Amino acid sequence: QKEVEQDPGPLSVPEGAIVSLNCTYSNSAFQYFMWYRQYSRKGPELLMYTYSSGNKEDGRFTAQVDKSSKYISLFIRDSQPSDSATYLCAMIEGDSSYKLIFGSGTRLLVRP
Amino acid sequence: NAGVTQTPKFRILKIGQSMTLQCTQDMNHNYMYWYRQDPGMGLKLIYYSVGAGITDKGEVPNGYNVSRSTTEDFPLRLELAAPSQTSVYFCASSRRENQPQHFGDGTRLSIL
């Protein structure tokens, strides 16, 4: 079993839809949670960075962490064709850890 | 505002050849990392460095070597290229442990 599970998609939605992207994980020691966006032939770009449980909002993006269920989500409101990309979740264990564990990514397509 | 810069962007090697993938960052980050990304497999850590002169192995170090003589540069060396090393290689940096990592745009390497 992988430490971090992520549905590979592709997820296809019409422009303006609310998108929900999710990851589950097995290691209860994870403390820091990130979402990266990766366009084709580009490097991952940090979207959201959160610590422990709760919600964080940044513009059209909201990140949720539920440590009791070992489940994290990224919501995209009013999705745009420019949001079409692969979204990677990533996690770090504790304060002194450098090791970033990635999900395999979900490919999102927003149709005009 | 360069961030993390990787060269070359693309390369084709023959089996048994050697090459160095270059990575430089201008954010004065102490931590630097090398990952490989294979389709459907997420990112796997090859080597990392916590500062000039200090390097250590990650999850998949076999067939690779690194050095870190300056804060800015972290080259990755392939000594005897094998087809299994065909991948996209990403360099990343962070200010310290448990902080988000910032990625370059990758080097696409094919070994034939």
Q: Is A40 on the interface with B (CB under 8 A)?
A: no
Pairing of strands B64-66, A54-58: unpaired
| CB spacing of B97 vs A41 below 8 angstroms | no
Q: Say if CB A53 and CB A43 are below 8 A apart.
A: no
Rg (CA), chain A: 13
Pairing of strands A71-76, A11-14: unpaired
Dihedral Cα A6, B40, A30, B59, nearest 10 deg = 170
Residue A8 has pLDDT above 90, yes or no: no
Chain B nearest-CA distance from A46, in A, is 7
In order along its 112 residues, chain B shows pLDDT tens digits of 679 999 999 999 999 999 999 999 999 999 999 999 998 778 999 999 999 999 999 999 999 999 999 999 999 999 899 999 999 999 999 998 888 899 999 999 999 9
**What is the reported pLDDT for A98?**
77
Dihedral Cα A28, A31, A35, A36, nearest 10 deg = -110
Cross-strand bridge partners of residue A38: A86
Q: Which residues contact B39 (CB under 8 A, 6 or more apart)?
A: none
Chain B nearest-CA distance from A105, in A, is 7
Q: Is B50 on the interface with A (CB under 8 A)?
A: yes
Buried b (16+ CB within 10 A) or exposed e, B30-66: bbbbbbbbeeeebbebbbbbeebeebeebebbeebeb
Give kind and range of the element (H or E) at residue B58: none
Q: Is A111 on the interface with B (CB under 8 A)?
A: no
Buried b (16+ CB within 10 A) or exposed e, A5-30: ebeeeeeebeeeeebebbbbbeeeeb
DSSP letter for A65, please: E
**What is the reported pLDDT for B98?**
81
Q: Is A16 on the interface with B (CB under 8 A)?
A: no
Interface of A with B in 44-103 (CB under 8 A): 44-46, 49, 88, 92, 94-100, 102-103
Mean pLDDT of the A48-57 span:
89
**What is the reported pLDDT for B1?**
67
3 state SS of A81: helix
